[in-house]
Structure 1
Amino acid sequence: MSGDVAVGIVAQRDNDRAHELAALLVAELERAFDAAVAVDELTGETIDANGVPVAEIADRDLAVSIGGDGTLLFVAREIGSTPLVGVNLGEVGFLNAVSPADADGVVTDLVRELRDAGSLEARVLDRLTATGRDADWTLEPALNEVLVHGPRRGPGGGATIEISIDGEPYAESHTDGVLVATPTGSTAYNLSEGGPLVRPAADSLVVTQMAAADGLPSLVVDADTEIELSVSDADGAYAIGDGRNRQPLEPPATVTVSLADEPVRLVGPDPDFFDGLENLD
């Protein structure tokens, strides 16, 4: 891809530091490379720059997320496998490896590599897809986890959920819910529910029951495992991806969770997993 490089930048909303850094990157990339740079619509209104819907950044050669891990998760949901680099304005930073002070240098180096070599070396992060068995729905891919729970989240809103691993039964219990997490998501909701930490490079998934009456330990399985969560004994239930995308269920219902076809491709320096752990509450 020698020649022009198209870059999309998404800054955390209502964050002045993120908007200031976005404006700096736009100016530098246009000056140094005459690059075609666009920002998300809300940022564009703030810094008087070319703004586009976040989903359109999927058509660009490189995406830049400025904010915390939540901002990067949002961007990743919208852009699929477009190369993505995260600038960390948050505290933990399991996904965002670039400090604000280094952002200009890192992003310009990536654009230069794209212009000269035509591609970028990326760290591939698996995502999950959830589909309804015998039902016509599929959640958008989730980078952290898929959660299945009863009519309400938390105590008193549970359901009986049977877990099957590649067609073999693993556990069945009345529970607040069941999480299927990627290694990326092992440090998020999974960890708060007592699940294990998993290093990002591990080719695995984690299945964790939440406050189960007859619970079993969290189960770590191969990444290509097909997991089925069958819900019963409840007036209603939900399948939720990354705490955002929600599908109502009518028990009895079965949700199949497996790897999505499109992973997330992170570029730039790798985050330090163990440094991130030090920032966990």
Structure 2
Amino acid sequence: MRVGIVARRGNERAASLASDVRERLRKDGVEVRLDEATADALGHAGHPVDRMSECDLVVSIGGDGTLLFAARGADEAPVMGVNLGEVGFLNATPPEEAVATVEREVERIETDGQPRTRTVPRLRATTDGRTLPPALNEVVVQGRRGPGGGADVAVEIDGASYLEGHADGVLVATPTGSTAYNLSEGGPLVHPDVDALVVTAMCGTETMPPLVVDADEVVVRVTNAPEAVVVGDGRTRETITPPAEVTIDLAPEPLRIAGPPLEFFSALDKLD
């Protein structure tokens, strides 16, 4: 049995809780891998986050940003989120229940072969033969933001034209990501059980509203800009030179989130 722990960097509370979880699991004979920054803070040997895919369970301690970071390294390994943030749409476990909840999921792995999990979709962006790492929240295709910036964009959804005009960019989000960047750009909230994508034009000159659609593929064509970028979850970036085309579809491997179910509507109460 191998459990990875990724804690919010530079946060003493997260590091302390990671230490508590580590010590409890080690007493149960579980091999525990700490991410390098947390291990350094605690005086232990660390492991790169991109090797957490070798674990049976990955525990993320922090906010949603920490879980996004952990998920990139976890790949197909299940991730359980402990919420130290304000909202926590991805982290269902409160810190005071973290040790006991992790223990229960480890017991489930030992008896059933896997923890309780729910799957959430991830997005894949491909341009000019290059594919970005899967994005859990959103993929953004944009030119330079601000006055005089942006680009001409054309959006096709499953081959049908949806939008043509000038915009700062186009944001394509999963239901999970509807509560993140999409929301700040005026996009709608989408319940995580809805099988859909959200397409939102960012500061567009056209009046087309954000769209919630059950689609297999979104194609964004970018012209009339010196440079543009494709950004996944605010973390991975690929520079493109217009005219360029970006294809966004569902990644073949969804993320498995372990642990208790998320209380979506309770989390909504914490939004400003």
> What TM-score, normalized to structure 2?
0.98
Q: CA offsets, 1:26-60, max 9 Å, x none?
A: 110111x2101110011111112331101111101
1:139-178 residue pairs with structure 2 within 5 A?
Answer: 139-150=132-143, 152-178=144-170
8 Å CA contact retained: 1:124, 1:266: yes
Q: Deviations over 1:154-180 (max 9, x none)?
A: 443210100001111111010011100
* 2:85 is the counterpart of 1:94: no
Report how far residue 225 of structure 1 moved: 1.7
Match of 1:129 in 2: 124
SS of alignment partner, residue 201 of structure 1:
coil
1:37·1:50 contact (CA, 8 Å) conserved in 2? no
User: Which portions of structure 1, spanning 4 or more consecutive aligned residues, are displaced by more than 2 angstroms?
Assistant: 153-156
Whether 1:249 and 2:244 are equivalent positions in the alignment is no
Equivalent position of 2:100 in the other structure: 105
Residues 1-281 of structure 1 aligned to structure 2 (within 5 Å): 5-31=1-27, 33-132=28-127, 135-150=128-143, 152-222=144-214, 224-281=215-272
The number of residues matched between the two structures is: 272
User: C-alpha distance in 2, partners of 1:157/1:268?
Assistant: 44
For structure 1, the residue ranges without an aligned partner over 5 or more in a row are none
Matched position secondary structure for 1:246 = strand
Output the amino acid matched with 2:140.
Answer: L
The separation in 1 between residues aligned to 2:146 and 2:24, in whole angstroms, is: 48
Q: How far apart are residue 211 of structure 1 and its match?
A: 1.1
Over the matched positions of the two proteins, sequence identity in percent amounts to: 52
| Contact 2:8–2:62 under 8 Å retained in 1 | yes
Give distance in 1, aligned partners of 2:35 and 2:237: 24
SS in 1 for 2:130: coil
Residue 138 of structure 1 aligns to which amino acid in structure 2?
A: T
TM-align CA RMSD: 1.0
SS at match of 1:66: strand
Aligned-partner Cα distance in 2 for 1:21–1:262: 30
Please identify, of 50-59 and 92-101, the stretch whose mean Cα deviation from structure 2 is larger: 50-59
Measure the CA separation in 1 of the matches of 2:99 and 2:122. Answer: 29
Q: Is the 8 A contact 1:230 1:253 kept in 2?
A: yes
What is the identity, as a one-letter code, of the residue corresponding to 1:130? A
Q: Is the 8 A contact 1:128 1:182 kept in 2?
A: yes
Q: What secondary structure does 1:274 align onto?
A: helix
> TM (normalized to structure 1)?
0.95
CA–CA distance in 1 between the matches of 2:148 and 2:197? 28
How much does 1:11 deviate?
Answer: 0.8
